[in-house]
Amino acid sequence: MRQLKQTILLISILLFTVVQSFAADAKQRFPKPEFDTGYAHPQTTAPSARLLFLEYMDILVLLVVLSLVTWFVLKKRSRNGVFWTSVFSLLYFGFYREGCICSIGSIQNVVLGIFDPTYAIPLTALLFFLLPLLFALFFGRVFCGGACPLGAIQDMVAIKPIELPKWIQKVLGLIPYLYLGLALLYVATKSEFIICRYDPFVGFFRLDAPFNMLVLGVLFLVVGVFVARPYCRFFCPYGVLLGWMSKFSSKHMTITPSACIQCKLCANSCPFGVIDEPVVETGKRRSNVNRLMTYFVILPLWIGIGGFAGSMMHVPLSRFNETVYMAEQIVENPEVKNDPDNIDVRTFMSSGKSTEQLVIEADAIRHQFYIGGWILGGFMGLVIGTSLIGLSTFRKREDWEPNKTNCLSCARCMDYCPVGATLGERPDLKSKIVNR
Amino acid sequence: MNTTTNDKIKVARWIAWIAAGFSLMVAFLLIANFVQIHLNDPIDNKTIPALIKRLSQDSGDESLKAEIRAFDLMARKAYFTSQWQLRTGSYLLLLGVIISILSVRYILSAKSKLNDIDPVEKINGLDQLVAQKWVIYVGSGLIVIALASGFLSYNSLKEYMVNENLVVQEEKPAEASTPNIQTQAETPADLPNSNGGAPSATTGDNATVAENTAPTQAPANSAVAVPAASAPAVAVPAGFPTMAELKTNYPFFRGAQGNGVAAQKNTPTDWNAAADKNVIWKVKVPKAGFSSPIIWGTQLFVTGADAQARVVYCYDKNTGKLLWEASADNIEGSPAKMPKVTGDTGLAAPTMATDGRAVFAIFATGDVIALDMSGKRLWARNLGVPDNHYGHGSSLIVYKDKLLIQYDTNKSGKLIALSTQTGATAWETVRSSKISWSSPILVNTGSRTELILTTNPNVNGYDPQTGKELWNIACLSGEVGPSAGYADGMVFAANEYAKLVGIKIGGTPEIAWEADEFLPEVSSPLAVNGLLYVATTYGVFACYDAKTGTKNWSQEYGDGFYSSPIYADGKVYITDIAGKTHIVKATKDYQLIGIPELGEKAVCSPVFQDGRVYLRGINQLYCLGTK
């Protein structure tokens, strides 16, 4: 057995070395400066593009991980299995692949592929976008449970989680929609991949990040000790799409393997607060219905006002576009054109474009932001309106169930369920039952 | 020894504490390193630039060079050491954090697999209501913030565009009420600032509204020129230069009028640069160019260019000392990538022009730059990269306060006049022409001054003041390179595979005669003393009767001609591509005076001044004459 392990280890090391040697293919990027001092130029190298088969391997790994997590969640009902798979994902997609490629960021590739006819979306990016959604549509958010490196790193530090009041969860839960909308807007206007730029954890994976992003990452992890997975729950734009898919999942995980015995042992098991308790309608039915009807009626108002407000934001929002930023910089401070240290302006000055051309281009982009602002604002109005409708809708529920939209399929709650468990092998569960 | 779970938890706790303490310490060191690097960035060390500045004053100071190298090495070491520290620290921090997290997780799992979260009190219906309220608050807040930031944000682009349109709108009534374009365009006070665009004017049927572009004004304290030595202060005369001034100097390609007739006397006829005979000085121009020299006062100007820089060089004409050089850089609209040009045209083919108040240069990039006589940039602008498959080759000429530019490209033909003072477009005339490389010449017909241009298919006369086309005769074809010649009321135009024509102007211009035996490809015809000289690329130098087109003589030399014949002091000088200058008497009969040699290839035309001839070879610039 020991010999087998050593052989596997040796083969792994050899394979890794061979794979790495491909990447060290040398390329001359810039012409060498001409020295007349007899200086011997060192051989400069640049990494070549990642080999295609390695990209396909990434897809394969993702597929295997998703399948494995699904199996652990639905068949084995094993939190340990999910946990260790997520550790693998953290090591592979996080530290080895340095956070790229990632399903969260792939939203931007897909949207760019739609809006920019010159951009051909890589197959890897497309599949990284589609596969987790497909799994979510059938099995729930298994990607969040064990395949997402961002989720895994936060899961590691969720040591002392507390439950947040519902209103905080609901309010913070609006942020991912806004983030998603902004991300799409900036990609559709070919401005920026903000999801990647403001990824708080990629700096850890690469051991290199701007200071502010490093601070942000540390903050997320520190907060994550008490508020489990803050990025996943309150920021992740991909989580929005996964939630939409997961809502319709037919084979979503359940807390109990069979009928719920209403033991309530799982009530405080979920660090993400996504276990829906049994519900009975409270308050006067008529006033509840009236409130619901009111929210339905004002829904178009939310959309309209939101759209208008979003369109008003087009000027500040567009400043993140580098063309608009440059145009404003030159128009408002024409003296920057003579600033030898302003590299951006120097680049523009030697680009062959005139200020007039730049301003016209920037204005066209700003107009795109105006249209996009209407759509983004309208979308946020819709989100707020439907959130209110959702909060005033009562669906009778008798059991403790994971919320299909928000459940991250981490499988923690399953350990709390005594149904089908052999209590002799689970002293912790047994003592919990006894201490109830 | 049996270890209990409690023992394991105890050990794990110790490990967790040690790892956490270690991580904290590393984090503190990393932050200290970060702060130190930000406070004193080795990459942005102020000492080295200061030392380099000192070195520029004394380039031979070896100890200073050694000091710079030592500082540079130290800065690099400091930078890479800090990078190593950051990287190593990051790894250590990561390791510490992982160990502490694993230890804590072990402790938690060892205690119990089931870790309840700290719950909050929940009242289902009330929670829903509170959540609704907060969603409404936050939603409304978001809308208010969006509206407020929208209202408070200032769209400077819109205002800029509106202002740009207002400039055009304001100018239209001015044009309508004041048809005298000269007044509008020539008064600098009327010109808007650099952001407001330049005045535009229409100039007749063929004219278009000038582009609403303004040149880049260099800031007052911006000294663009790099003095190569202590440049003497140059007195700048007021007003426009007189013809006498122009003739005394050598301000344009092919002399004071651009027609190849130089007013200088006592021009030398004997030199041999290879043998250093009668070489007063010679210098290597740092960057290559096919532009001929121009001279004003004691200053001689040439251009040179490569992919890295386009440069104007000013030399002392008496000593060959480089007085200053100025780069045509940081020009708005200038292309990042050099346009594709052929090796025999290059990026600096057009000859400069000067009016004694400023010097002007144009490059194949479409960059036009104006410098004062001490090399300080007055203005610069890009006319749009010319679509020219060989490279822009037409030289500049100045008429009063206008810099006149032939801009015939594959896309369109234009004659552009820029204000010499501001660079603003004074007028712009669209030409019905194909691409050409000929240069404008200015001739006084007796009744008026005309700017004459050759192209495919026309030879045109323009009013240099307004850009209005005065006449045109379609007589040429092909890729027209030679400029026009002029003498005694007749214009001479020629092109290889087309013909040589004599056009009588004044009244109704008409072709007086045609010939097609010897046709130049690049070299321009020279008309003087009733004679017309043409030099061909295949090495024939021929003389015609200017009035009738009858050939007087022709001589076939071994090497062809790219440069143009220049008349000076009763002689005609023509330099072949091997660098041999054939000097003949300007008479009906062929009388060779001499064939002095430069010792290197040459395509530029000779320039005369103070009994000396200035010739630019492929590599060096020469001042030739009796020492």
- Is the domain of A383 the same as that of A269? no
- Among A218-232, B185-199, B246-260, B324-338, the range scoring the smallest mean pLDDT is B185-199
Q: What is the pLDDT of residue A29?
A: 43
- Is the minimum CB–CB distance between A342 and chain B shorter than 8 Å? no
- Smallest CA-to-CA distance from A148 within A100, A109, A90 is with A90
Instruction: Give the nearest partner residue to B125 out of A282, A306, A314, using CB atoms.
Output: A282
Which residues, at least 6 apart from B593, have a Cβ–Cβ distance to it below 8 Å? B269, B571, B583, B584, B585
What's the distance, Cα to Cα, between the start and end of chain A in Å?
A: 45
Strand partners, B272: B277, B597
How far is it, in rounded angstroms, from Cα A11 to Cα A8? 5
DSSP A188: H
Closest C-alpha to A91, from B197, B34, B477, B98: B98
**pLDDT classification of B538: cutoffs 50, 70, 90:** very high
Asked if A287 reaches chain B (Cβ–Cβ under 8 Å), the answer is no
CA distances from B423 to A245, B156, B186, B313, B358 (A): 63, 26, 11, 20, 12
Question: Is A360 within 8 Å of chain B by CB?
Answer: yes
Report, as an integer, the average pLDDT of B312-329. Answer: 93
B300 phi/psi in degrees, rounded to 5: -120, 135
- The nearest CA of chain A is from the CA of B174 a distance in Å of 23
The model's pLDDT over A390-430, given as tens digits with 9 standing for 90+, comes to: 998 877 888 889 999 999 999 999 988 888 777 777 777 77
Q: Are residues A324 and A262 in the same domain?
A: no
Query: Residues 241..280 of A with a Cβ closer than 8 Å to B: which?
Result: 267-271, 277, 279-280
Q: What single letter denotes the amino acid at residue B321?
A: K
Tracing tokens 């690099």 back to the chain, one arrives at: B76
Looking at residue A201, what DSSP letter applies? S
Question: Is B331 in Cβ contact with A349 (below 8 Å)?
Answer: yes
Assess whether pLDDT exceeds 90 at residue A34. Answer: no
Dihedral angle over CA of B36, A194, A158, B125, nearest 10: 140
Contact at CB, A352 and B333, closer than 8 angstroms = yes
Task: Indicate yes or no: CB of A429 within 8 angstroms of CB of B161.
Answer: no
Q: Are A273 and A301 members of one domain?
A: no
- Give residue A326's domain range: 285-391
What's the rounded mean pLDDT across residues B381-385?
A: 90
Region label for A74, one of left (φ > 0), alpha (ψ between -120 and 50) or beta (otherwise)? alpha
CB pair distance less than 8 Å for A428 and B113: yes
> Would you state the structure tokens that stand for residue B372, as one six-digit string?
């004062």
Cβ-defined contacts of B512-515 (< 8 Å, 24+): B512/B547, B512/B549, B513/B548, B513/B549, B514/B475, B514/B549, B515/B544, B515/B549, B515/B551
Question: Which has the higher per-residue pLDDT, A159 or B207?
Answer: A159
Check whether residue A68 and residue A156 sit in a common domain.
yes
Whether pLDDT at B396 is above 70: yes
The answer to whether the CB atoms of A302 and B139 lie below 8 A apart is yes
Cis (ω within 30 of 0) for the bond into B457?
yes
Closest CA to B563 of B550, B582, B554, B576: B576
- Position A338 in a domain: yes
Tell me the pLDDT of chain B averaged across its residues. 85
Tell which B residues from 320 to 339 touch A, by Cβ distance under 8 Å: 330-336
Point out the residue among B149, B157, B335 whose CB comes nearest to the CB of A362.
B157
Q: For residue range B417-429, what is the model confidence (pLDDT) as tens digits?
A: 999 998 989 999 9
* Residues whose CB falls within 8 Å of the CB of residue A217, separated by 6 or more in sequence, listed in order: A200, A201, A203, A204, A209
Residue A25 lies in a domain: no
Helices and strands per DSSP (H, E), number in chain A: 20, 2
The pLDDT of residue A286 is above 90 = no
Put simply, whether A337 touches B (Cβ < 8 Å) is yes
pLDDT tens, residue by residue, B218-246: 433 333 455 554 455 556 677 888 888 99
Query: Given this model, what pLDDT does residue B436 score?
Result: 93
**Nearest chain B Cα distance for residue A120, angstroms:** 26
Mean pLDDT of the A105-111 span: 96
Which residues does chain B have within 8 Å of residue A156's beta carbon, measured at their own beta carbons? 101, 105
Q: Does position A4 have pLDDT exceeding 60, yes or no?
A: no
Half-sphere exposure of residue A283: CA atoms within 13 angstroms, side-chain side: 18
Taking an 8 Å cut-off on Cβ atoms, the answer to whether B135 and A366 are in contact is: no
φ and ψ of B152, to 5 deg: -80, -20
The tokens describing B30, both together, are: 């990393």
Least CB–CB distance from B135: residue in A315, A349, A388: A388
The ipTM value here is 0.84
With beta carbons less than 8 A apart as the criterion, state whether A169 and A273 touch. Answer: yes
> B240 with B399: CB under 8 angstroms?
no
Tokens of B605: 């035309």
pLDDT at B229: 46
Q: Are A112 and A119 in contact (CB under 8 A)?
A: yes
Same structural domain for residues A290 and A272?
A: no
Tokens found for residue B18: 């040690």
Return d(Cα B52, Cα A248) in angstroms, integer. Answer: 69
Whole-number pLDDT of residue A283: 66
Mean pLDDT computed over A316-337:
91
pLDDT one-digit tens code per residue, B80-132: 888 888 889 988 988 998 899 889 888 887 877 677 777 777 776 778 889 99
Residue type, B127: D
Taking the Cβ of residue B498 and every Cβ of chain A, the question of whether any pair is shorter than 8 Å is answered with no
Q: Does B80 touch chain A (CB under 8 A)?
A: no
**Residues of chain B with C-beta less than 8 angstroms from the C-beta of A306:** 139, 143
- A214, A357, A384, best to mutate vs chain B, most B CBs in 10 Å: A384
CA neighbor of A373 nearest in space, from A361, A362, A381: A381
**A169-205 burial by CB neighbour count: b if 16+ within 10 A, else e?**
bbbbbbbbbbbbbbbbbbbbbbbbbbbeeebbbbbbb
Query: Cα separation of A380 and A378, whole Å?
Result: 5
With respect to residue A13, please indicate whether it lies within any of the assigned structural domains. Answer: no
Instruction: Give the position of tokens 């990393």.
Output: B30
How far is A327 from chain B, CA to nearest CA, in Å? 7
Residues 6 or more apart from B121 whose CB is under 8 A from it? none
Q: How far is CA A137 from the centre of its chain?
A: 17
Residues β-bridged to residue B380: B216, B369
Mutate to test the interface with B, among A225, A356, A436 (most CBs of B within 10 A): A356
Confidence grade of residue A132 (pLDDT, cut at 50, 70, 90): very high
Q: Count how many residues are written for chain B.
A: 627
- In sequence order, what E strands does B377-468 have? 377-382, 397-399, 402-406, 413-419, 425-431, 441-444, 449-454, 458-462
Amino acid at the residue A86: S
- Report the residue count for chain A: 436
Are the Cβ atoms of B143 and A309 closer than 8 angstroms?
Answer: yes
Would an 8 Å CB–CB cutoff place B157 in contact with chain A? Answer: yes
SS (H, E, C) B302-317: EEEECCCCEEEEEEEC
User: Both A192 and A119 in a single domain?
Assistant: yes
Residues A171-187 have pLDDT tens digits of: 999 999 999 999 999 99
A247 and A303, same domain (yes or no): no
Q: Are residues A315 and A357 in the same domain?
A: yes
For helices B5-39 and B62-111, angle between their N-to-C axes, nearest 10 degrees: 160
Do A71 and A145 form a contact (C-beta atoms < 8 A)? no
Pair (A101, A73) in one structural domain: yes
List CB contacts (< 8 A) between A346 and chain B.
330
Interface residue A136 vs chain B (CB under 8 A): no
Verify that A106 and A238 share a domain, yes or no: yes
- pLDDT value, residue A49: 76
Closest CA to A141 of A242, A255, A45, A53: A242
Rounded CA separation A178/B579 (Å): 73
A161 and A105 part of one domain: yes
Shortest Cα distance, chain B CAs vs residue A31, angstroms: 13
Backbone angles phi, psi at B449, to 5 degrees: -95, 130
Residue A15 has pLDDT above 80, yes or no: no
Within a domain: residue A304? Answer: yes
For chain A, positions 209-228, list CB contacts with chain B under 8 A.
211, 228
> For residue A41, is it within any domain?
no
A40, part of any domain: no
Give me the DSSP letters along B127-190. HHHHHHHHHHHHHHHHHHHHHHHHHH---HHHHHHHHHHHHHHHHHHHHHH---HHHHHH-GGG
Which amino acid is residue B589, in one-letter code?
Answer: D
Q: Does B34 touch chain A (CB under 8 A)?
A: yes
Instruction: Name residues 225-244 of chain B within 8 A of A (Cβ).
Output: none
State how far residue B527 is from chain A, nearest Cα, in angstroms. 41
pLDDT more than 90, % of chain B: 59
Strands B402-406 and B358-362: unpaired
B594 touches chain A (CB under 8 A): no
Q: Give just the sign of the alpha carbon dihedral A89, A94, A97, A100.
A: positive
In angstroms, rounded to a whole number, what is the distance separating the alpha carbons of residues B176 and B202?
10
Interface test with B, best of A349, A380, A430 (most B CBs within 10 A): A349
Confirm whether A2 is domain-assigned.
no
Does residue A263 sit in the same domain as residue A345? Answer: no
CB within 8 Å of A198: residues ≥ 6 apart: A213, A216
pLDDT tens-digit readout, B492-513 = 999 988 899 999 998 788 899 9
Neighbours of A315 (CB within 10 A): 23
Tell me whether B132 touches chain A (CB under 8 Å): yes
Rounded Cα–Cα distance for residues B138 and A173 (Å) = 11
B494-522 burial string, b = 16+ CB within 10 Å, else e?
bbbebbbbbbbbeeebebbbebeebbbbb
A25 at B interface, C-beta within 8 A: no
Task: Count the domains in chain A.
Answer: 2
Determine contact, residues A309/A372, Cβ cutoff 8 Å. no
Q: How many Å apart are CA B459 and CA B452, to the nearest integer?
A: 7
